[in-house]
Structure 1
Amino acid sequence: MPTFRMRDGSGSIRLKHVIEDTDRHGNVRVYLRRPGHLKVRLRSQPGTEDFLAEYRAAMMGATPRAPTGPLERRGSKGSFKWLCEQYYVSAEYQRLSGRTKYVRRGILDRICKKNGSKPYALMEPRHVRRMRDKMADRPEAANGFVKALRQVYAFAVEYELAQRNPARDVPYLKAKGDGFHSWTMEEVRQFEGHHPIGSKPRLALALMLYTGQRRSDIVRLGPQHIKDGWITLTQAKNRDRKPVTLSIPVLAELKAVLDATPTGNLAFLVTAFGKPFTSNGFGNWFRKQCDEAGLKHCSAPGLRKAGAALAAENGATERQLMAIFGWTTMKEASRYTNAARQKVLAATGMKLLSRDGGGPGRGKRGVAKRDTPHSSPSLKRPRRTQWRQS
């Protein structure tokens, strides 16, 4: 019995007697199969109101209407659509997570809708750049497009279906700004003031802030992940290819909120129907809680950034940040430690800009003190300098 994510962000749903079949071309078809009845195909997009209406009608014995549009045809050999069909049944595609499959196939299907009949062997880097640049106002979407093409052609090269990868040397676009707004401690206190301990929104904030995990992990986190005061979980991101398993202690601030808040059995955070949130459904719900607290510019991903900044400012090293947040390289951790070091160095160094002096190593009138022979034996004694008074 598959689980379908509702398109309106309200959560997920499981429907009795519904099955999914995947043919040898990677096409997923949804059917209603009741014992003693013929199998009926459900043609509407899963997770939509049309799909639910079609399901209810089929359960009552009504025969779904045949689609009014033309049936989808397979791509002719050598076309870009044909290449995508080969990719969908490859081992490389099948080992991706369900979410990654859904996103990548959506991108490739949109390309096929416009250019699916064109020979894939004739695609050049200039074609990729041209299509990428049309999405310049949406750099994340543009980069997802380039990444999807890179993976399709990497598969084609590996299986000797193509001689080169035209998207390999097309660079990603630089994102505008720093992404999601990073919460300040004042904003955290404002949220806490609006949502007291014991409420679901306060629990959500505590789980994100005091574990440092992504919302895709927060929605799965439950009592079964805690033992002897430690949280142990495998992060959802890349869990099918490069799984990252973390063990982090339960902070006293988080324990106080957990002890005072009703939670679900297998997931701490559940919907109004008692079921775990989907990642997107949780993001939409938490977005509304921020609005109610007067924080319209804040969101769930920004809390992870705030936690990383807080830990770095409290002295966490790159290795410690990697152990907490599950990063596998120092690149992301260095962003926060470098920012924290800059803040500390600026705090101690700004006094050196003072015209009145007063900083370390200066006299009453801003005159630099002489170095002693013992402090720098290999260096020449510097000249005595003084700020000129205007």
Structure 2
Amino acid sequence: MADVPYTYVIRKPSGREYWRFRRGQLHTALPGKPGEVAFQKEYARLLELSQAPAPSKAAEGSFASLIAAYRLSAEFKALRPTTQKDYEYTLDLLKDELGDAPYRLVTQAMVKAIRDDLAATPRKAHKVKQMVSRLYSWAGEENLVKEGHNPAAKIKRLKVRAKTITPWSDSEIALFLAHAPAHLRMAVTLMLYTGQRVEDVASMEWTQYQGRFVRVRQSKTDEMLEVAVHPNLAALLDPVKIRRGRICKSAKGRPYTANALRKAISDQCAAIDGMPARSSHGLRYAAAGMLEEAGCTVGEITSVIGHRTYQMAMKYLTARRNSQAAMARISALTAGNPNS
């Protein structure tokens, strides 16, 4: 086999080979093996990338230098990793748009122009405003700008069309559980009986299952919860419990990411005859309904799923119950009057 510069191979006892690329600070895996299209394409890309000159240091006083300083700040380092990753995306966007501009001279009109360019994605547009505000608030604390200077301060938020999330009905839950494979039944049952977000269910470890309780540190709020385990959930977890590792895994035994689990549930809904399109978040709404029907107080319910989710779920479920009550009255009236 011809020598391929800057690569080496790892051979497993099974005989399988894994190729990797290493040059300077660039160290990563390669797909397949030399001679294969995917390998050669990625090798060429990495070789070119490793030869590129290092990025130049941001000019002092530029918006890019402000971003670089914020990324090194104690405030940024204290953020949760998921929050840092979310901030990084918006910071990179702002660096591309305003990087060379002196940060002390950035105006409201400049920030508003970036926001308006993202009008098709209102949430992303609002993150731009939020991130600029956060940067200048930090810069003010560090005496890098005059106190109160914030070019994003008076920029209004673009209106976001409300997204409709429908709670799963009892019949939809039963239909899904009757036709879905075991690994998705596990995930859906966990979401239904704990009321947690898909991010927290996807990352849930067996060590969090304590028998009578599931311990959850919510990724969004950083709040630690102990959710009592319903008998239906215990009946599913107990026979397969192991000492460690993720609870939710794919059919191939790989841990799910939140997005992969969302998609798997959505795809499974589409594959079941008679099953409408339903989201994983709709299971939180269904959980709110189950807790309410069981006689839990508002405080008990919101301690599990949060105030906003409870309010939105109850609004939908109340409308559905009112509709069912109305149809029941009509049915009773029709039954009592054969001529109607």
Q: TM-score, normalised by structure 2?
A: 0.74
Aligned positions of 1:57-72 closer than 5 A: 65-67=47-49, 71-72=54-55
What is the aligned partner in structure 2 of residue 41 from structure 1? 25
Aligned mates of 2:277, 2:320 — CA distance in 1 = 24
Structure showing greater radius of gyration is 1
Given candidates 80, 85, 91, the residue that maps to 1:102 is: 85
Aligned mates of 1:230, 1:207 — CA distance in 2 = 12
What is the aligned partner in structure 2 of residue 283 from structure 1? 262
Q: Which amino acid aligns with 2:278?
A: C
What is the aligned partner in structure 2 of residue 178 from structure 1? 163
Q: Specify whether residues 129 and 152 from structure 1 end up closer, same or farther in structure 2 by C-alpha distance, changes over 3 A only.
A: same
What is the aligned partner in structure 1 of residue 301 from structure 2? 321
Q: Determine whether 1:204 maps to 2:187.
A: yes
More helix, by proportion: 2
What is the aligned partner in structure 2 of residue 255 from structure 1? 234
What is the aligned partner in structure 2 of residue 52 from structure 1? 29
Q: Which amino acid aligns with 1:268?
A: I
What is the aligned partner in structure 1 of residue 338 from structure 2? none
Q: Residues 193 and 233 of structure 2 are in contact (CA less than 8 Å); yes or no, is this contact kept in structure 1?
A: yes
Aligned mates of 2:164, 2:158 — CA distance in 1 = 14
Aligned mates of 2:139, 2:184 — CA distance in 1 = 47
CA-CA distance at 1:291 after TM superposition: 2.8
CA-CA distance at 1:69 after TM superposition: 5.1
Aligned mates of 1:187, 1:282 — CA distance in 2 = 18
Q: Give the secondary structure class of the aligned counterpart of 2:47.
A: coil
What is the aligned partner in structure 1 of residue 106 from structure 2? 123
Q: Specify whether residues 192 and 351 from structure 1 end up closer, same or farther in structure 2 by C-alpha distance, changes over 3 A only.
A: closer
CA offsets, 1:344-384, max 9 Å, x none? Answer: 678889999xxx9xxxxxxxxxxxxxxxxxxxxxxxxxxxx
Runs of at least 5 residues in structure 1 that lack an aligned partner in the other structure: 1-15, 19-30, 33-38, 44-50, 357-390
Aligned mates of 1:216, 1:201 — CA distance in 2 = 15
Aligned positions of 1:342-353 closer than 5 A: none
CA-CA distance at 1:105 after TM superposition: 1.1
CA-CA distance at 1:170 after TM superposition: 2.5
Q: Give the secondary structure class of the aligned counterpart of 2:286.
A: helix
Q: Residues 316 and 337 of structure 1 are in contact (CA less than 8 Å); yes or no, is this contact kept in structure 2?
A: no
Matched residue pairs, number? 299
Q: Give the secondary structure class of the aligned counterpart of 2:156.
A: coil
Given candidates 297, 311, 314, the residue that maps to 1:334 is: 311
What is the aligned partner in structure 1 of residue 206 from structure 2? 223
CA-CA distance at 1:272 after TM superposition: 5.0
Q: Specify whether residues 55 and 237 from structure 1 end up closer, same or farther in structure 2 by C-alpha distance, changes over 3 A only.
A: farther
Aligned mates of 1:344, 1:80 — CA distance in 2 = 54
Q: Specify whether residues 145 and 312 from structure 1 end up closer, same or farther in structure 2 by C-alpha distance, changes over 3 A only.
A: farther
Q: Specify whether residues 123 and 321 from structure 1 end up closer, same or farther in structure 2 by C-alpha distance, changes over 3 A only.
A: farther
- The 10-residue stretch of structure 1 (257-266 or 75-84) with the greater mean CA deviation from structure 2: 257-266
Q: Specify whether residues 119 and 338 from structure 1 end up closer, same or farther in structure 2 by C-alpha distance, changes over 3 A only.
A: same
Q: Give the secondary structure class of the aligned counterpart of 1:227.
A: coil
CA-CA distance at 1:76 after TM superposition: 0.8
What is the aligned partner in structure 2 of residue 195 from structure 1? 180
Runs of at least 5 residues in structure 2 that lack an aligned partner in the other structure: 1-17, 35-42, 334-340
Q: Determine whether 1:234 maps to 2:214.
A: no
Q: Specify whether residues 212 and 311 from structure 1 end up closer, same or farther in structure 2 by C-alpha distance, changes over 3 A only.
A: same
Q: Residues 226 and 232 of structure 1 are in contact (CA less than 8 Å); yes or no, is this contact kept in structure 2?
A: yes
CA-CA distance at 1:300 after TM superposition: 1.9
Q: Which amino acid aligns with 1:193?
A: A
Q: Residues 263 and 269 of structure 1 are in contact (CA less than 8 Å); yes or no, is this contact kept in structure 2?
A: no
**CA RMSD of superposed structures (Å):** 3.6
Q: Specify whether residues 181 and 187 from structure 1 end up closer, same or farther in structure 2 by C-alpha distance, changes over 3 A only.
A: same
Q: Give the secondary structure class of the aligned counterpart of 2:300.
A: helix
Q: Give the secondary structure class of the aligned counterpart of 2:215.
A: strand
CA-CA distance at 1:321 after TM superposition: 2.0
Q: TM-score, normalised by structure 1?
A: 0.65
What is the aligned partner in structure 2 of residue 308 from structure 1? 288
Q: Specify whether residues 228 and 300 from structure 1 end up closer, same or farther in structure 2 by C-alpha distance, changes over 3 A only.
A: closer
CA offsets, 1:8-47, max 9 Å, x none? Answer: xxxxxxxx9x9xxxxxxxxxxxx96xxxxxx73217xxxx
Given candidates 136, 160, 169, the residue that maps to 2:154 is: 169
Aligned positions of 1:289-304 closer than 5 A: 289-293=268-272, 295=275, 297-304=277-284
Q: Specify whether residues 72 and 290 from structure 1 end up closer, same or farther in structure 2 by C-alpha distance, changes over 3 A only.
A: farther
Aligned mates of 1:176, 1:138 — CA distance in 2 = 10
